[in-house]
Structure formats: C-alpha cells, structure tokens
Structure 1
Amino acid sequence: MTAAASRLHHFRTPFDDRRSIAISLYMTLVGYGVLVALPAISAARVALLGFSEEQVGRLSSADLGGLAAGAALGATMIAKGNRRHLVWLGALTVIVANALCLRYQQYPITLLLRLLAGLGSGLYTSVAVANLGATARPARAYNRMLFAFAFSQALELQVLPHLSMNGIYAGFIAAYALGLAGLNWMPAHAEDRQLEVAVDVENGEGHRVEHRRVPAYLVWLCLLAILLTYTNIGGYWTYIELAARSAGVAPDWISRLLVWGSLAGILGCLLATRISNRFGLARPLLAALMMMAAAVGLLGLGMNTASVTLSLLAFNWLWIFIDVYQMGFIANADHSGRYSSLIPAAQGLGQIFGPNLAASLLAGGADYAAVFGVCALFALLAWLTYLATYFRLRRLIPELADAA
C-alpha cells in the first residue's frame, strides 16, 4: 500500500443541502462585514467622528477582538449545542450594540459597544463557518463564500463612503435581522467526528476505507498560523487607505483601487479551486503566503501611486487564496465544527494584534513603512508555521497533507 493508492474520503452531510449552504454563505458575508470594510469604516471614523488614527486602530481591534472572543465562545458550545439558538443570541447582541451606537458616539462608549458588537458577530459567524466546514467538500464551500465576498466587499467599499456613521450602523442592523428569516434552513446539530478523517485505500487486495486520527496539535498549529496571517492582514487593511493618502496618492484613486482590489479577488476564487484540485491545499497556501509577504513588504520600501496600486491589488488577490486554503485545510481534518468554528477566533485575535501593533508603532513615532514591514514579517512567520505543519503531516497522514 502506498500513498499514491490512497486519497481522502469525503462524506455527504445534511449541511450539503443547498438551502443550508445559502443561508450559511449569507451569514458569513454579514458576520465578516466589518472586517472586509475596515478601510472605509476607519476613514469614516476619522472624517465623520473626529477620531485619531490611534483611536481608529483601537476601535478596529475592539470590533475584531470581540469577534475572536465570540467565536471562541461558540466553539465551546457548537459540538453539543443548538446552532440555531447560537445564531439568535449572536444576532440579537449585534443588533442591540449597533442600535446603541446610533445614540452614543463618544469614543469610550463606542469602544465598549464595538467590543459587544464583535462578541455577537463572532458567535454568529463561528456557526456559519462551521456549517460550511461540515459539508462534504469544505474547500469548495469556502471558495463559494470568498467568491461572494469579492462582490460584497466591492459593494460595501463603494456604498459605505457615501453613508453617515449612523447609516453604516443601520445597515449592519438590517443585514443581521434579515438573516434570521432563513435560520430554519440550517441543521441544528452536526455529527461529532472531531479530528477523524476517512481515507480510501486501494491495493492488490481491493478497496477499503480506513479511519485515522489527526493529532490535535497540528490543527492548533494551523490556527496559530491563521492568527499570524491575520495580524499581518489586520495591520495592513486597517491603515492602507490612511497610509496611501499620507503618501500623496489621490483619494479618488485609492477608493477605486479598493473596489478593483475586491473584484480582483474574483479571479482568485476562479483559480483557487482549480489549483488546489491539482496541487492540494498546502503547497499553494505556502506559495501564496510568501507572495503576500512580498506584496506587503513592498510598501516598507516606500510608498507612491505605483507601489500602492501593485501592493493593494496583489494583497486582495492573495487574500482569497490564503483564506480558501487555510479554512479548507482545517475543515478537512475536523467535521464536527469545533475547530472550524475557531477560525473566526484566530482571525479576530490577529485583527486585535495587527491594528493595535500598528497603532502602537505609529504612536511611538514610527512611519507607515515600518508598520508594513512588521506586517510582512508576520506573514513570513505564518509561512514558517505552515511549512513545519505540512512536513509533519506528510509523515503522519500524507492523504490529508495533500488533500484538495
């Protein structure tokens, strides 16, 4: 028996129902709404509310730190709890917090309310991500999610700059409320198959399915790599618009770039599954992380219209690849949803560290070039973490290491 004669086996589940996939896709778009629109929201907080660049970084960290805490809370309950109840609780928390933001716009109160909104968003989003991860082909489901993101992000970045701050909050309230209408489409519970994979084995004796356990520490290493990746993403995405403006790039050009960058992600979605079907998830992920480090690090060498354009378009394109491969890699190993539901937590923690680290550097007198140089370093640390994980998994379960 050789690795060439075996491959990962995919079971069809109730989460493969089209209605379940549809509502879960919608929920992820809403749950990650603040994250994908951070440049526009950060600029609005400076222009409309008069917050400083440092305060903007703290508010972004509150939103996304709450996302991490809410997702971690969801992970402790999702394996045994009712997923529909968790979504109700998360959506209600977000709606109340955003409604209070309509009335209270002072910085200390806004900071607390954004933390509360993030908490509800994390609970809500963790269920949606786990639902997609529980499908037979999670990488395909996440690719659909990110394909939809490319359009929703472009729409948000086009529309939000024309709204008041209260208009932005009201939009989030409406989006969460609308999602509750399709809640019954998703299964309330999933199978409890934590860290167990099935492998189709073919040899001279015939065909059989073997069940193998995935060491938990390898999944935790993948989550650590996501945290490192999103530390890079959080610092870059929070400050890219402000940094470009400070470098003299025309504001209209920046706005168009943000929209075009989102649409460039469509190309990434179209290519991601084709590439993973041929090369698996891990090797393209390693290549994408290295290229992202280069795209972000480019701005550490200096900023002008050409470098910002190249960096931003490459960043958005690679972000799609990295998300598809990171999320699919974990979901292939965990069909219960427990570890998949921690993906937003790892992303949110990275989004705490990234904007806060960037804000601290700026407060200490560093320029944006230093900020982007540090962001690139975190992308390289994520690459090293995945490289070690991949080599270890190749020795233990090669079918999972190279799975699509």
Structure 2
Amino acid sequence: MSEKKGIALALHDWKILFKDDWKSLVIALYMVLVGYGVLVGIPVISTAWVTKLGFTEIEVGRVAGMDLGGLAAGSVFTAWIIQKVNRRILVFLGIVIAVAANALCIKYVDYETVLYLRFFSGFGSGIYTSVAVAVFGMSIRPALAYNLMLFSFAFSQALEMQVLPQLSMNGIYMTFMICFLITIPFLGWLQSYPVSKSDNHAQTQTQEAVKRSSLVPWICLFAIFLTYINIGAYWTYIELAALNANTNPDLVGSTLVWASFCSLLGCFIATLLSNRFGLIRPLLIALITMATGVGLLSFGITEPKFLMSVFTFNLLWIFTDVYQMGSLANFDDGGRYSAYLPASQGLGQIVGPNLAASILSFNLGYESVFMMCWAAAMLAMIIYWLLHRYLRATDPEMADAS
C-alpha cells in the first residue's frame, strides 16, 4: 500500500481521532470554547468596559490582565492536582467560581471591585479550561485534537464579535454564566481521572525525547507565553486603537467578525504544511509574518493597514497555535504539560495588556504598543529557531515531527 500524503493523510488522522473517546472530546471542545470566551472576545469586551462602564483605556488593560491572569492561576492550580483529583469535581468547582464572580460583576460596577472579581472569574475559567485542554493533550492524536479546537474558535470568535456588541454589560456577563452552567448535565462525559491514549510508538518517542531534555516542554511553554504577550496586547487594544485613529467604526466591527474566519483557512493550511514540513519550520515563518503584520501598525493606523494587519493576525494566530500546541504535544507524556497551556497563555495575556497599559500611561501612543507586540513575537520566533537547531543536532526526527 502506498504511503498516504497530503489531504489523504489528514483525513486518515481525522478518522483515527474520532474513533477515540468522542464524548470526552466533544464536551472538552465545548469547554475550551467557553473557557477561552473572554480571551477570544476581548476586543468587544474591552470596548464595552469603556463605553458601558466608563473605564479608561488604561483601566481596561488592567482589568483584562487580571481576568486572563486569573485564567493562568487557575490553570497552574489545576495542573498541580489534576493527577490526583476527580476531573468532574474540578470542572464543577471551576463553574461555581466563574459563575459566582460573573454574577457579582452584575451587582458591582466600580473599577476596584470589578478588577478583583475578574481575577476570580478568570481563576474559575482556568480550572474549567485546563481540564478540557488536558483531555485534548491525552487523546490519541493530540496535535490534531488541538487543531480541531482551534478550528472551532473561528466560529465562536465570529459569533462573539457579532453578538456581544449587541448586549448590555450585564447581558455579556449573563451569557458567560449560562454557557458555564450548560456544562453541568454533561459532566459524566468526562473521564474521572486521566488515562493516556497515545499510541505506543508516539508514547515511546515522547518518553525518549523527555529523557533527553526535560526542559524542552518548558521552553515551548515559555515561547507560548511570549507569543501571547503579543496576542494579549494586540487583541485587547486593536479596536480601541483603530477607533482612536478615526477608522470607520462599522468597518472596524465588520472586519473583526469576518477576519475571524481566517482561522478556518489557517487550520487547513497548518495541517497540510505540518504533514509535509513538520511543526517548527512553518511556525518560524508564521511568527515572522505575524510580527510583520502587527509591527505595521507601529507606523500609524490607516484603513488599508488596519485591514491587512487584522486579517494577517487572525490567520496566523490560529496558525501559530496549531504549531505551538502540536510541538508541545510531541514532548508531552499523557497531557502533563498540556494542563499548563492556559497558564502560559494566561500569563502572556496578563503581561501583554498590562505592558500596553503602562506604555499608554506614559503617553507613548498605540504605535509603541504595537512595536512591543512585534518584539514579543520575534523573541518567540528566536527561541523556536534555537530549539529547532538543538533538536536537529540531537534528534532530527523529532525536530521535523508533525
């Protein structure tokens, strides 16, 4: 039999994935879409905090950072105990915390109180999301499972961009609360305790790689953190920056909705390229291109630059996530490090908006914010380049693994 390539190989991998524990995968997919809801919808949520609650641009950066920093804290907490505690109990705990914090945000609208409530909301989301991400990391095809997750973000992101601006601030909080509560009847679909489902060959490769260097997964997580400094700052302020530059508000809103669907193309291309060139080499090109699209705005925002930057960013956000999560999965035995993914992303999301807020507080303007985003993306690219060189010297097969 001839070796499968291209689309045929991708379809074969999809069939294997769906023969896995489909119930766990389905509920985990729903959970990551809900858990990452604030991250994905942060441009319109940030604008809502300004227009509906009267927060300043600097305060928005602090609040967004607290929310997504809570996501990181909840993820770290979960990663420490997920091997010992019933997953269903963890998810239920996360739901209770997130729902309670969102409910209190309806009652308390002053900046100081909202700041800390958003941290607790993020903490509950972090617990909830970390369990879901670990399910993907322990599937029989973890890289492909992450691709499915990111592919689905295109639809959830477009939905949030379309629906959330039509809601009041309380309506936004209520939407998140309902989405969390819907999970409860389906908790039985989750495995109570982690069970690795990686095939023996993949597991052997992973164990050998980890033995060679236990630092490699942590290096991947640090690079993801840097990438999300860029993503966090850019995605928090892109709408506010465009409006500040007198860009047509209708154009800004519609662009954020339609650019979300670039994720579909990004996932498709990423799958095909990874089967041919591995994960790290295309990731290097993607990060350079993303940095260029973000850095373009450091020279001023015009409508053509805005359109080019946003569409490039959305295409390559998912593109880079597919490769970064897939690369981590290649070094991850049974989802141990996968549970830290929301932490790495969340830490980037708290640092990015806060760095951007500090830059704005010094009156350096949005141009300096986007220059900082460019620098973070390029630093992540350099780390992956060094990692690829190291792997090429020590384990060429792993360096180009898909």
Q: Give TM-score, length-normalised by structure 1.
A: 0.92
Change (3 A) 1:321 1:123: same
Change (3 A) 1:251 1:400: same
> In the alignment, what sits opposite 2:379?
381
Query: Quick one: which of 1, 13, 25 aligns to 1:21?
Result: 25
CA–CA distance in structure 2, aligned partners of residues 392 and 197 of structure 1: 25
- The CA deviation at 1:315 is 0.1
CA–CA distance in structure 2, aligned partners of residues 249 and 15 of structure 1: 48
CA–CA distance in structure 1, aligned partners of residues 180 and 254 of structure 2: 27
> In the alignment, what sits opposite 1:396?
394
- The CA deviation at 1:335 is 3.0
- The CA deviation at 1:81 is 2.4
3-state SS of the aligned residue for 2:261? helix
Query: Quick one: which of 84, 90, 97 aligns to 1:86?
Result: 90
Q: Which one-letter code corresponds to 1:265 in the other structure?
A: S
- Mapping 1:5-404, distance limit 5 Å: 16-191=20-195, 198=201, 212-214=208-210, 215-404=213-402
C-alpha deviations, 1:169-194, integer Å up to 9, x for none? 00000000001221111212224799
Change (3 A) 1:211 1:57: closer
CA–CA distance in structure 1, aligned partners of residues 85 and 263 of structure 2: 35
Moved over 6 A (4+): 12-15
3-state SS of the aligned residue for 2:208? strand
Q: 2:17 touches 2:145 (CA, 8 Å); kept in 1?
A: no
3-state SS of the aligned residue for 2:183? helix
Q: Which one-letter code corresponds to 2:115 in the other structure?
A: L
- The CA deviation at 1:280 is 1.0
- Give ranges in structure 2 of 5+ residues lacking alignment: 1-12
> In the alignment, what sits opposite 1:205?
none
Q: Which one-letter code corresponds to 2:59 in the other structure?
A: Q
> In the alignment, what sits opposite 1:7?
none
C-alpha deviations, 1:222-248, integer Å up to 9, x for none? 111001000011110000000001111
CA–CA distance in structure 1, aligned partners of residues 268 and 23 of structure 2: 23
Q: 2:231 touches 2:349 (CA, 8 Å); kept in 1?
A: yes
State, as a whole percentage, how many aligned pairs show the same letter. 52
Q: Which one-letter code corresponds to 1:137 in the other structure?
A: R
CA–CA distance in structure 2, aligned partners of residues 285 and 136 of structure 1: 23
Q: 1:197 touches 1:212 (CA, 8 Å); kept in 2?
A: no
3-state SS of the aligned residue for 1:216? coil
Change (3 A) 1:197 1:254: farther
What is the aligned-residue RMSD (CA, Å)?
Answer: 2.1
Q: Which one-letter code corresponds to 1:314 in the other structure?
A: T
- The CA deviation at 1:160 is 0.4
CA–CA distance in structure 2, aligned partners of residues 231 and 383 of structure 1: 13
- The CA deviation at 1:13 is 9.6
Q: Which one-letter code corresponds to 1:288 in the other structure?
A: A
- The CA deviation at 1:15 is 9.7
Q: 2:17 touches 2:141 (CA, 8 Å); kept in 1?
A: no
Q: After the TM superposition, which of the residue ranges 141-150 and 329-338 deviates more from structure 2?
A: 329-338
Number of corresponding residues:
386
CA–CA distance in structure 2, aligned partners of residues 138 and 317 of structure 1: 21
- The CA deviation at 1:337 is 1.8
3-state SS of the aligned residue for 2:364? coil
CA–CA distance in structure 1, aligned partners of residues 398 and 285 of structure 2: 18
- The CA deviation at 1:392 is 1.5
Q: Which one-letter code corresponds to 1:232 in the other structure?
A: N
- Give ranges in structure 1 of 5+ residues lacking alignment: 1-9, 201-207
CA–CA distance in structure 2, aligned partners of residues 86 and 285 of structure 1: 33
CA–CA distance in structure 2, aligned partners of residues 86 and 300 of structure 1: 43
Change (3 A) 1:247 1:28: same
C-alpha deviations, 1:317-349, integer Å up to 9, x for none? 000111111111111221322211101101000
Higher strand share: 1
